[in-house]
Amino acid sequence: MSEKIKITFPDNSVKEFDKGVSAYEIAESISKRLADEILAAEINGSMKDVTSVLNEDSKVVFHKFDSEKGKEVFWHTTSHMMAQAVEELFPGARFGVGPPIESGFYYDIDSDRKFTEEDLKKIEDRILEISKRGLKPERKDLKRTDAIKFFQSERVDPYKVEILETIAKDEENVSLYSQGEFTDLCRGPHLPSTEKVKSVKLLSVSGSYWRGDEHRQMLQRIYGISFPKQKELDEYLKNLEEAKKRDHKKLGKELDLFSFHEEGPGFPFWHNNGMILLNNLKEYLRSKLVELNYQEINTPIILNQKLWLQSGHYDNYKENMYFTDIDERDFAVKPMNCPGSTLVYKTGMKSYRDLPLRLYEFGLVHRHELSGVLNGLFRVRSFTQDDAHIFCTPEQIEEEVTVLIKLVFDVYNTFGFEDVQVYLSTRPEKYIGSPEVWDNSEKALATALDKAEIKYKVNEGDGAFYGPKIDFVVKDSLRRNWQLGTIQLDFSMPERFGLEYTGSDGNSHRPVMIHRAVFGSFERFVGVLTEHYGGFFPIWLAPVQVSILPIADAHFEYAAQLEKRLRTEGFRVNTDLRNEKIGFKIRESENRKIPYMIVIGDKETDSGNLSVREHKKGDIGKFELNEFIEKLKLQVREKAGYN
């Protein structure tokens, strides 16, 4: 009689199978359709090929293309198919690394041929041909020394040899994957067959130094994307074109929001329009926090290096920090705000009656980022975090997190981010604190999410070493994912800084520190919002809310009176007095994405009524001035959006 093993599924149901059953066979026992759609299996938290055999009780999660991990496997296999296509078309090419990325994949290639657009099309066609061959990637485990011999003799590739010489000890096994005549060094997993890849587009070629070292060989990095269906690729390419139009770097210049200069690489220069955006965001969030009994603080940008040694940032983060000396003492520019908050907490004795203590700070931080990764407002060297640190008792964690979750969703809904994915990250292998504290904290986070009726995914072992966390990922108007908010429990910082409070029992206790951010940083959030709205900000955020367009000089006086009245009512107004035709002025206002335009001619001057145009909609009719003012005030008050 065959020995049985128990397989536990994500819904906690359990089924018995014969020992030696494959992941594919388990899926097939559920439904043939599921077995045909799965791309990989997650077995006890590790991603495996669908052909993997199970010999012990296990937890199994199947991944299709609709999951992030499924997409990673799909794109990873496609990167191997691209390398195979390059090797077949351009013999002699050597390969660096070819990982999946957030959207697609790339491979770094060393070739005498400089790849052109025509070459990319040839490679695409060959990838689809490889797909039709239905090759089944096969894994082979062997000792590192044997793998080195393979890449020195059978398939000569010095880059793979160098990787092997640095990733493992001699006696450790490494894995190679082969599909047809092509073999590559890889951990896997891979698709069960190349025929899963039905559509592919190679997007660009750029230069990339081997291992990011400017003194090493310059390789050609080919970026691509692939999908199981052609219509999915068509939709992606359509969104990609729209994304180019919405690029926040392009719109930031056109709308006069911000700029970057060689005199401060990676440090944004905010213009007046950008400052209006920033200040509106700060005022909005500040109003929400005041309602929740937060206290605003501000801590210094430069603090003694000893603080960063005590917090642990120096040991783990010094490569990303800036340092200076003051009065022959070592100081550092803060990369994070949290140590400063602990010092504020320690300025007086705390009782359990003082908790929870909610401190928030719009704190400017600096981090040294390599020049190659700087990307507009998405990756900068100075930015302002919408930071908060909540000091509470262990018993208060659940309630505080419940309130924070509601805050996050309320804020995101205001901006039209209605599709929010939530992830709960649990205890990693290396952690501080007792398992009991971790278990209780993870349970508190999960209970808070459950009470809020929030669906979430568990990222096992992905918590920070100092505590579990909840991360929030939003989809924008182009269905792109952005990781924004986070709620993190921290047992380390209170311990390192000796934070205490007097409990109801009269004894000293250690508080729990909750780190939370809603936007993440104002800079990055402005970048995300700019692309989300395509630069057409809701009226309450728009740097200019109304443009007044007089047709001729005779209408200037009334236009000036109108501007004064609207400014008195609190609106941001611009009057276009240039000697240009009204059609030109309207187009200019449209290009600047100003929500409302008031056209002033003889009829308007005589009647006192307004002829109003709305961005993207055109003429919306005549309004009496007070009526128009109330319309705008209502939209501002309700934080009206366009999504």
Annotated catalytic sites, by residue?
338, 367, 385, 387, 389, 469, 515
Whether 508 contacts 612, CB under 8 Å = no
* Identity of residue 615: H
Measured between its terminal Cα atoms, the distance across the chain in Å is 61
User: What's the token pair of residue 171?
Assistant: 């006696």
CA 337 to chain centre: 20
- Closest-CA residue to 142 (of 158, 166, 164): 164
Cα–Cα dist 191/39, whole Å: 5
- CA dihedral in degrees (578, 579, 584, 590; nearest 10)? 10
Burial of 489 per CB tally in 10 Å (0-12, 13-18, 19+): buried
What residue spans of 187-335 are helical by DSSP H? 230-246, 248-254, 272-291, 305-311, 313-317
User: What is the residue whose two structure tokens read 């804020």?
Assistant: 411
3-class DSSP state for residue 182?
A: strand
Give me the residues paired with residue 222 across strands: 107, 205
| CA 175 vs CA 135, 570, 571: distances in Å | 18, 66, 64
**The dihedral sign for the CA sequence 26, 28, 30, 36:** positive
CA 420 to chain centre: 12
Non-local CB neighbours of 181 within 8 Å, separated by 6+ positions:
84
CA 262 to chain centre: 27
The secondary structure element, H or E, covering residue 529 is helix 522-533
3-class DSSP state for residue 507?
A: coil
User: What is the residue whose two structure tokens read 């803060």?
Assistant: 334
User: What is the residue whose two structure tokens read 């039209």?
Assistant: 416
- CA dihedral in degrees (43, 46, 48, 50; nearest 10)? 30
Q: What is the DSSP letter of 511?
A: P
User: What's the token pair of residue 38?
Assistant: 């799965």
Cα–Cα dist 281/170, whole Å: 55
DSSP symbols for 319-331 = GG-EEEEETTEEE
Q: What is the DSSP letter of 375?
A: B
